[in-house]
Structure 1
């Protein structure tokens, strides 16, 4: 695979992905912002070369992109649109992450330093597994989940789409199911299943509100 790639986004998290892409051996050809206001600027020495909307009218088949928004829904929507136009969104896997040979990953995932994806795990598209996080064996994450640093998903658990796990949060390995679009607070220990769109905090975690 050719190692040239463009990055979508110019926010603070883009800087993290710039470093990850370089660590993965990619040559970053440029950045795309959501409008033309910052074209010509540089982020960490990488030029903003255009507007994201302009890409949708170009031939981008087989061109590689990484969508760097931290917002789970937005990252997934943009990456899906690019893929539907024939673009490629390769997984960026840090050379010091561990991915089991039996694990299955979708497209457009970011796997950071010291993250571990264990035996027979399944990750959807556009997931982010941050530094020192663990997906234990036979666990499943839906599209566009974000696991912050030191977060852990226990064995046999099933996590829905676009779930955000805060720093040092834990899903206990009890065959738990977490519904789509949940937000799990930092240091929360989830000990039972919850439906979609819940904000969960505490030890044991409890629902404090629903996301509209």
Structure 2
């Protein structure tokens, strides 16, 4: 059985643990962002140390699963782990339906239960797609994007890096061609036009309510 370590101890950690187990992995242990919880257990698994402890040990060839919701933190940790020989595998829940014509990066993608990924979709590195989301044909999801549960991303859309698509939101095919870098689409929003980078949109139809400072 493949062994894997989980990084991050928080509210979403058990969701990622269950994804890994559904994909046939054995959880060896957890790492926390600092050493305050070293030696404790979380959901039945030992907290082995801090991220620094992990990075200072010999992790070459070992596999890791990141459970953080902050995609910038995920990217930073991924880079550090890969730099010293660690591996961040792609995990696709066995109940997900993924077209044989889809192109899924093997670099740290997580696809949850009952997702649908249609033909000619491209999913880039570090993307997290939560349960029951649908990504329609000829759409590209950029690096380190988050697609929330039950979100629907329509066809022929380019979602740029670090975009956040909230739960149960809808990006309408034929209306939206592009979602800019780092843009946040609120839960339940219905997007019917292009979205620039670094904005927050909510509502039906979705409207910009703020800009994200860089």
Q: Structure 2 length normalisation: TM-score?
A: 0.95
What is aligned with 1:201? Answer: 202
SS in 1 for 2:60: coil
CA distance in 1, matches of 2:146, 2:84: 25
Residues matched between the structures, number: 211
The secondary structure found in structure 2 opposite 1:5 is: strand
Q: Runs in 1 of length 4+ with deviation above 6 angstroms?
A: none
In terms of mean alpha carbon deviation, does 89-98 or 172-181 score higher? 172-181
Q: Which runs of 5+ in 2 are unaligned?
A: none
Q: Partner residue of 1:147?
A: 147
2:27 aligned counterpart, secondary structure: strand
CA contact (8 A) 1:92 1:108 kept: yes
Structure 1 unmatched runs, 5+ = none
TM-score by length of 1: 0.96
Give yes or no for contact 1:41–1:48 (8 Å, CA) kept in 2.
Answer: yes
* Kept in 2: contact 1:3–1:26 (CA 8 A): yes
Deviates more, 1:56-65 or 1:46-55: 56-65
Q: Are 2:28 and 1:40 aligned?
A: no
> Tell me, what secondary structure is at the counterpart of 1:144?
coil
Question: SS of the counterpart of 1:56?
Answer: helix
Structure 1 residues 1-212: aligned runs within 5 Å: 3-106=2-105, 107-174=107-174, 176-212=177-213
- Let me know the Cα RMSD of the aligned residues: 1.2
Deviation at 1:85, TM superposition (A): 2.0
Report the secondary structure of 2:18's partner residue: helix
Instruction: Tell me by how many angstroms 1:143 deviates.
Output: 1.0
